[in-house]
Amino acid sequence: MFRRNDKTPPQATPPSIPAWDKSSTGPANNTSAPSGTPNVPASPPAFSAPAFSAAARGTPVNPVKEASPYDVVLEAVKDELKTGRQLAPSAYDNPTDDDYAIVMEVARRQIQAYNVSAPTRGLPLLVDGAESEVAAETESTAKRLTEDVLGWGPISPFMEDPMVEEIFINGHDHIYVQRAGKFAEKVSSTFRSEYALRMFINNKLDYGSGGRGVTVRTPWRDHRLRDGSRVHVIMDPLVSNLGYGGIAITIRRFRSVARSLNDMVKLGSVTTQAANFLRAAVKAQLNIAISGGTGTGKTTFMQVLTSEIDLKDRVITVEDTPELALQHLPNWVALVTRERAEGVEAVTMADNVRHCLRMRPKRILLGEARGPEMIAILEAMNTGHDGCMFTVHADDAYRTLQRIETLYLKGGMGNVPLLAIRREIAQALQLIVNIGVFRMPDGREVRRAKEINFVTGGVEGELITHEPIFQWVNERGKEEWTGRLEYTHACPMKVVRRLEERVRDFNWQRDIEEAG
């Protein structure tokens, strides 16, 4: 549309004046054309739209939004902390009072430095107002900066709320919070922008326990916080509906609502009889599969069962995303997987199960089984490693055994006859504990053990035989949540003998039959 005389070089906007400033000068704002340059038309009138002004000057449009004063100071605070190495990496995930004090001091200094230099650069002040208000405003802004660096920024109140189970962040301005037994609800808190959200979560991932930030090349990450909470981050281009650079974050909080079987009894998750049985089963080193749907509390249930493990036992846990926290066991080693990356090979759960077999474990605890690791853990159980536990997705005992069989086949050993696989499962596993979630009339969700089955060790036709010792029973025609876990009066002598021989002071008649 506009042409320039090739002999007249374009003039650049002076660097001291921001591109978005209406007072920007240049050829586009010069209303008089020099003589002898007929190919240069009179400049159009100045418009406030920067895109039009840039087009008129013949310069490319910069699509990046100008950083706010707060963002500028926040990046300055991060840079000073990083270059000065004033904080340990662990401070970003588990800060102390001293760490907060260090960041507060850096934030105050950077706020003052910015406010001093802003007028000479034509930039707005970060802290403005009457002299009596500046000190209070500086302190408030420094606290906000500190929370963005060390804390959880806009979601801090929810990370501190013990009733919050899940936090869903769908882009910078859509945050949902789910409290215990409730539906997820949208909250008013937001991040400043997608860029601010990405910088915020990458700061957590970069400095957390072994985590790395999300990038275009690696647009997803799993991470574990020091309190056991899990963080999953996935971003554009793997997310298509949140716009350019959109990020979806899911934080599953670790809520230690129960630490022992006695706590489970108080919560109504198991009965006294079932608790007595499970306590003895763990001490007698029975191999246990814990099954249930997503969010039923399988890992929490396994964590509770570990409270009955002898403190002298050497325990090895194998997980994809670390969730089990067994600090109460002095001889505990946690193995985790590793993703494949440039120059390094992947380490799978199956690999780690094989590694732990060389570590002389007394017990092996496997996180959620989803693949070939099922073959490895079954082989371990069948070669003298008692007291193993693992979790698996299934809705009842029958489907649990089907799921284990399917995972075995997915492991790639398709040349093994199904009968041989079923016999191996039947001989390796002794107990199946299935957990369910019931929705109450008031909308609350409660978790209950639905059945505890004993695997007899035999195969009849196409079925691995199992027998319910405890089973969920409710009256016909009534809602399922109205039922309860009841003892079936089954008395499998194989189990009874093992429990009474290996567990001191355990008596089936007293602790199971009469306890109800």
Tokens 């240069």 locate to 40
Q: Which of 424, 496, 419, 420 is nearest to 461 (CA)?
A: 419
Residues 86 and 178 in one domain: yes
Distances (CA, A) of 76 to 61, 99, 350: 26, 17, 45
Q: So what's the pLDDT on residue 207?
A: 57
Q: What is the pLDDT of residues 441-467, one digit of tens each?
A: 877 788 899 999 999 999 998 899 999
Q: Which of 316, 314, 284, 317 is nearest to 299 (CA)?
A: 317
Backbone angles phi, psi at 288, to 5 degrees: -125, 130
Range of the domain at 353: 261-513
Q: Which of 409, 379, 380, 377 is nearest to 391 (CA)?
A: 377
Tokens for 136, please give them. Answer: 């209070």
d(Cα 146, Cα 255) in Å, to the nearest integer?
A: 25
d(Cα 473, Cα 292) in Å, to the nearest integer?
A: 17
**3-state secondary structure at position 421:** helix
d(Cα 56, Cα 294) in Å, to the nearest integer?
A: 58
Sequence-distant contacts of 296-300: CB under 8 A, at least 24 apart: 296/435, 296/436, 296/437, 296/447, 297/269, 297/435, 297/447, 298/368, 298/391, 298/435, 299/323, 299/324, 299/367, 299/368, 299/391, 300/257, 300/258
Residues 82 and 110 in one domain: yes
Residues 451 and 505 in one domain: yes
Burial environment of residue 393 by CB neighbours within 10 A (0 to 12, 13 to 18, 19 or more): middle
d(Cα 46, Cα 25) in Å, to the nearest integer?
A: 10
Residues 105 and 160 in one domain: yes
**3-state secondary structure at position 187:** strand
d(Cα 444, Cα 440) in Å, to the nearest integer?
A: 5
pTM of the predicted model as reported, rounded to 2 decimal places: 0.69
The domain boundary residue, chosen from 252, 280, 310: 252
Between β-strands 431-439 and 288-292, what pairing exists: parallel, antiparallel or unpaired?
Answer: parallel
d(Cα 434, Cα 408) in Å, to the nearest integer?
A: 20
Overall domain count for the chain: 3
Residues 363 and 383 in one domain: yes
Q: So what's the pLDDT on residue 46?
A: 41
Residues 75 and 56 in one domain: no
Q: Which of 319, 416, 323 is nearest to 377 (CA)?
A: 319
Q: Which of 196, 197, 226 is nearest to 211 (CA)?
A: 226
CB 432 within 8 Å of CB 289: yes
The domain boundary residue, chosen from 252, 287, 319: 252
Residues 77 and 222 in one domain: yes
Question: Tens digit of pLDDT per residue, the chain (516 long)?
Answer: 444 444 444 444 444 433 333 333 444 444 444 444 444 444 444 433 444 333 434 434 444 446 688 888 988 998 888 888 888 877 776 788 888 899 999 999 999 999 999 888 888 888 887 777 888 899 989 988 988 888 888 898 898 888 898 999 999 999 999 987 778 899 999 988 888 888 888 877 765 444 567 888 889 888 877 777 888 999 999 998 988 888 999 998 877 677 899 999 998 999 999 999 999 999 999 999 999 998 888 988 999 999 999 999 999 999 987 888 898 999 999 998 887 766 788 898 999 999 999 999 999 999 888 888 999 999 999 988 999 999 999 999 999 999 999 999 888 766 788 899 999 999 999 999 999 998 888 777 888 999 999 999 999 988 999 999 999 998 887 888 888 999 999 989 999 999 999 999 899 999 999 887
Residues 47 and 188 in one domain: no
The domain boundary residue, chosen from 63, 87, 111: 63
Residues 210 and 342 in one domain: no
CB 365 within 8 Å of CB 420: no
Burial environment of residue 496 by CB neighbours within 10 A (0 to 12, 13 to 18, 19 or more): middle
Cα atoms in the Cβ-side hemisphere of radius 13 Å centred on 448: 21
Residue type, 268: G
Residues 7 and 139 in one domain: no
Residues 6+ apart with CB under 8 A from 138: 108, 111, 112, 127
CATH of the domain at 141: 3.30.450.380
CATH of the domain at 493: 3.40.50.300
Burial environment of residue 392 by CB neighbours within 10 A (0 to 12, 13 to 18, 19 or more): buried
DSSP code for 513? I
DSSP state letters, 55-122:
HHHT-----SPPPPHHHHHHHHHHHHHHHHT-S-GGGGTS--HHHHHHHHHHHHHHHHHHHHHTGGGT
Q: What is the pLDDT of residues 399-410, one digit of tens each?
A: 999 999 999 988
Tokens for 479, please give them. Answer: 């809602």
Distances (CA, A) of 360 to 225, 309, 372: 29, 16, 21
Residues 240 and 302 in one domain: no
CB 115 within 8 Å of CB 131: no
d(Cα 409, Cα 476) in Å, to the nearest integer?
A: 38
Q: So what's the pLDDT on residue 96?
A: 84
CB 392 within 8 Å of CB 403: yes
Residues 211 and 114 in one domain: yes
